[in-house]
Every structure is written in C-alpha cells, then in structure tokens.
Amino acid sequence: MSSNLYNTYKTTLQKIADIKYATAVLQWDQETYLPPKGAEARGRQIATLTEIAHEQFTEEAFGNLLQELLSKDNLSGKQKRNVQLSLEDYTKSKKLPSAFIRQMSEAVNKSFHAWMDARKQNSFAVFQQPLNDIIELKRQEADLLGYQHHPYNALMNDYDKGLTVAITDKIFNDLKPQLIHLLNRIKVKPQVGNSFLHQHFNKNEQWKFGLEILDAIHFDKQAGRQDISEHPFTINFCSSDVRVTTRIDENDFGNMTWSCLHEGGHALYEQGLSESEYGLPLGEYCSLSIHESQSRLWENNVGRGKAFWQHHYKLAQQTFGKQFAAISADDFYRAINKVEPSFIRTEADELTYHLHVMIRYEIEKMLIEGSISTKDIPAYWNEHYEKYMGIKVPDDKNGCLQDVHWSHGSFGYFATYSLGSLYAAQLYAAILKENVSVETEIGEGNVQTVLNWLRKNIHAYGRYFTSEELCKQATGETLNSNYFTKYANDKYGKIYNL
C-alpha cells in the first residue's frame, strides 16, 4: 500500500518538476536569445507556469498524501527523507498565496529587463523603482514565511537552511580582520605584473579555449551546453541537461576563463545529482552555500592552482601564442593570482572577493529591515568600496548595477558566495588529505580524482543533509574558516614572499 502511495507522491512531484523546468527553459532563453519585444509576453508566460506549479504543489490533497506517507513505517531511509523534506517545502509554500507568487514573478520579469536597460544606460535610476517593488515584495515574503530576530533570516533560509544573520555576522566578523591583515601585508610587497592578461584576445579563440577548459574538468557536453549572457550563470532542467553561460571581454583573458571554471563547477554538481531522484528533494542540490563551494573549488582551489596550469598553460600558449609566447608558466600563475582591489566581483581575486560579498550582504540586510532605501544604494555602495578597498567607483555599471541577483529577487543569496569559498577550502583540504598524489595528477591534466571525490561525498546526497551536516559527513567537522585562512596565507605567502 505504501509503495503505491510513494509512487503517487513521486509522480506528482515529477509532474510539478516538469512545469518548473519548462519555466526554467523560458528563463534561460530570456537571458540568452529572447528578442527585446518578447519581454512582456515572456514575463506573462513565466508567471503563469510559476503560479500553476505553486498551486499544484500546495493542494490540500498533496499535503494529506505527505502526512499519510510519514505515518507508514515501511518506507526506506531515502524515501522517508524525501517525504520529510517535501513536507517542509509544502508547509513553507502554503504560507505564500498563489497570487503573491504570480505577482513576484511578474515583478521579477519587469525588474530584470529594467536592470538590462539600466546597464545599457549606465544609470541606476532606471532600475530603482522596479527594484523597490521587488524589495517591498521580499519584505512581504519574509512576513508571510515568518522569522525570528531579523526578517532577512526568512530569506537567507531559502538559500541555506538554518542560515541566519547572527551566524553570518559572526563568520564575517571573524574573517574580515584576517583578510585585511593579509591584504595589508601584501600591499607593501612588490606587485605582481599581469598586464599581459589585458592584451587583445580574439573572441572566437577565447570561446574555443573556454570550451576546452570545460572539457578538461569533465563538463559533459552531451548533457549540457554553453552560451553567452550579460551575466554568467548556470541553469539546469535535469541532470542530463545543464546550461552554462559566459561573457567575453576581448581585452581581458580572465573574464571568460574564470566564468567558465566557476559555472563549470556549478554544472558538474548538477550533472552529478541522481537522475532517478528527478523532481524529488534527493535529486536537488543541498544548498546554495554548497553549490557555491563547488564553483569556487573548481575556479580557485583547482583552476587558480599552480598544478592545473602546469598542464593547461601549454594549451593557452597554443591558442594565444602571440600574447603568451614570452611569458613563463610561473609568471602566468602569479598573474592570475594577483591581489588588487577592483570594481567587479566576478573578476575579483580570492581575497578581496569577500569584501565585495560583505558590502552586498550589508546592503541587503538594511534594505530588508528598512534602515536604507533603494535611493541610498549607489552612495552606500561607493562609500564602502572606498572604505574597504580604497577605490573610487567610476559609475553605476561598474558599481551597484553589476550583479543580476537583485533583479531576480534573489535576496539572501550573496553570503553563500563567501560561505562557498570557505566550504571549498575545507573540502579541498579533505581531498588532499585522502589523496596525497592528487596535485601531481592535476599537473598531468587529470582531475578525475577530484571529481570522483565530490561525486561520492557531495553530489550523491542531494538534499539529504543540511550544509553543516554534509560538511561534517565529508570532512569530519562542520564549517571551519581556518581552512580558508591557512590556504590563503600559504598560497599568497609564496606568491608575494611574505
């Protein structure tokens, strides 16, 4: 009897997943190929499908099915966990009326296209009112979901279950002085030269090189593809159809290279999720902090590592012979790890990156609690870039308009970028401890051991564990930022002769 009930549960969730992923295809197209005049109709289509999926998931009959299943004592461990997590999702979703879901989807569509226009015009004013509408809705969402201590907690919980302002503040307050101390030590040392990374690099040659880098980390092109977008992102429709995007600056070698590695890391996680659990919690990623750990591990711990370029720098020289012919592999390695404050988060070095994230996190907290308004964003942003990094933001496009997240309504997301880097350092340390020859293998162009470890210890579990539980399962302890600070001090101590 319970097997029939479970099959009904599974079929119901998979049908809802079909609707959600069909919506995701429309969203992917919206950010890659949609003609400008299609924006309004596309917004309506996405809103309708989002509303339908929400209505089906929150039907009383489905809630009753979940309760009945949990009363059975013959479900397997995985089946029971799926149902438990679905009931959590159901209970949370019931708090959000379908009309609110549609209103949010429509507001996001308007906001996204306003953000695109604002970037073209280099004017935050174009984006301000649509963003204000999003923030008002996110405050309503926090109230509907309920929270303790701070409304931002309700939104952070969407991206990392159990994550709160108190937890994040403590992590950032511990990390910031250590970062600033290391940055100050680097500041007085001779700076690394990287001007050769800002020569002219042909767009088509960069595109070809990016695809070869994705091949090198085992991104399965039979189960995914890469395209161009205004802001690099990863989206999936199932584990066998995962899309990544990049952007190319012909005067910056790193822009596309690091987005390919970063988004490729996200994609490897999605491609590693269980296909048999499609539509179910155990077929979904653990949290966005863990998702970011995957992208940051491939981008930085592997992709900015000396071992990786022992092999792949030859490919770079073959592709860009004129630009790199006279540059040694050691000089290239130091250049790609140059530490210097900059305007664009996605192009930042591993250390100042966290300061970018902290500024956004503080702005989001204050917007949701109402201590600042949208009109205050540019001034606050510019002031804190000068305060934390000593740089004057020249315009909105290089400042508060650079990230797509707010236009998507993704409030509560940014802290996961830093947490992801901390998790990545801890996971990579565990990989090195268990596989002493792994960096030798990477130096030979073989990253299979790294991928296999992640498949076994991270990807295979889906949402079975929370971030902290999964970290402990994989490394023997919960998140410990000392792994990142040790990694950073060791790496940059050698690069800058500290």
Token pair of 103, please?
């209103």
Give 165-495's CATH code, choosing from 1.20.140.10, 1.10.1370.30, 3.30.499.10, 3.20.190.10. 1.10.1370.30
pTM above 0.85, yes or no: yes
Q: What is the pLDDT of residue 474?
A: 97
Catalytic residue among 263, 277, 284, 468: 263
Q: What is the pLDDT of residue 367?
A: 97
Within 10 Å of residue 386's Cβ, how many Cβ atoms? 13
What is the C-alpha to C-alpha distance for residues 98 and 314, in angstroms, rounded to an integer? 54
Instruction: Parse the chain into domains and list their residue ranges.
Output: 2-146, 165-495
Q: What is the pLDDT of residue 140?
A: 95
Return averaged pLDDT per consecutive 10 residues of the chain, 498 residues in all: 84 95 90 88 88 91 94 91 95 89 89 94 96 96 94 95 94 94 94 95 96 96 92 91 94 93 97 96 96 97 96 95 94 96 91 96 96 96 94 96 92 95 98 96 97 98 96 97 96 96
Q: Is 263 an annotated catalytic residue?
A: yes
Give 2-146's CATH code, choosing from 1.10.3470, 3.40.50, 1.10.760, 1.20.58. 1.20.58
Q: What is the pLDDT of residue 32?
A: 87
